[in-house]
Amino acid sequence: MANMSVSRERIDSTPAEQVPPDEHRALTRTLLAALEMARAARNAGDAQAAVDDALERLFEERMAAISESYFGEHWTAENAYSIWARLTDDTRAWGYGSGPEIAPLRWLVEVSGCWFDGQRLVPLDEWSGCYEQWAAQQEALVRRMTPGALDPGLFPPSMLES
């Protein structure tokens, strides 16, 4: 389980300007219901599981829709990297999802402090290391497969090279 601090206050205070109102209401309703279940749980493990289950479901539903839309296939863990590339506007890798599709995921990331990798919720500091390695590989692959296609300096330097 990820160590997250989802709370009513965090849900209420996280800006959602780009999230369509109906979707924001649905996200909020689901998370608040999970918090109520957590409050009623008999132990901390059950409480965290209630919140984690809701977050995983919300992430997976939105990522599945993007995967269907852009890849024409069911969501896979590999797509989590491409979707994160779009979420963070990383030019080293192809990212997928339009602004309205990505906005709810951005909101969930801000509220939860984690990302869903297809298996589990991953704290952002752990995810950024995994993602950075993947993004550097994607950049190298593009450069190798299409020599000269990318102008030098087009991509930001890899954080792994530091």
Q: Exposed, middle or buried: residue 158 (CB in 10 Å: 0-12, 13-18, 19+)?
A: middle
3-state class (DSSP) for residue 6: coil
**Cα-based distances in Å from 82 to 9, 76, 88, 132:** 31, 11, 10, 12
Q: What percent of the chain has pLDDT over 90?
A: 48
pLDDT, residue 147, reads: 62
pLDDT, residue 77, reads: 77
Q: Can you tell me the mean pLDDT for 93-97?
A: 76
Q: Which residue has the tokens 């997250």?
A: 4
Residue 89 contacts residue 95 (beta carbons within 8 Å)? yes
pLDDT, residue 131, reads: 92
Nearest to 85 by CA among 66, 57, 113: 66
The segment with the largest mean pLDDT, out of 60-64, 68-72, 133-137, is: 60-64
Domain-by-domain residue ranges, the chain?
A: 8-145
The encoded tokens of residue 58 equal 């919300």
pLDDT per residue over 14-31, tens digit each? 999 899 999 999 999 999
Please tell me the distance from the alpha carbon of residue 57 to that of residue 131, in angstroms, as a whole number: 21
pLDDT per residue over 106-157, tens digit each? 999 999 999 999 889 999 999 999 999 988 888 888 777 766 555 555 545 5
The encoded tokens of residue 38 equal 């957590």
Please tell me the distance from the alpha carbon of residue 52 to that of residue 125, in angstroms, as a whole number: 18
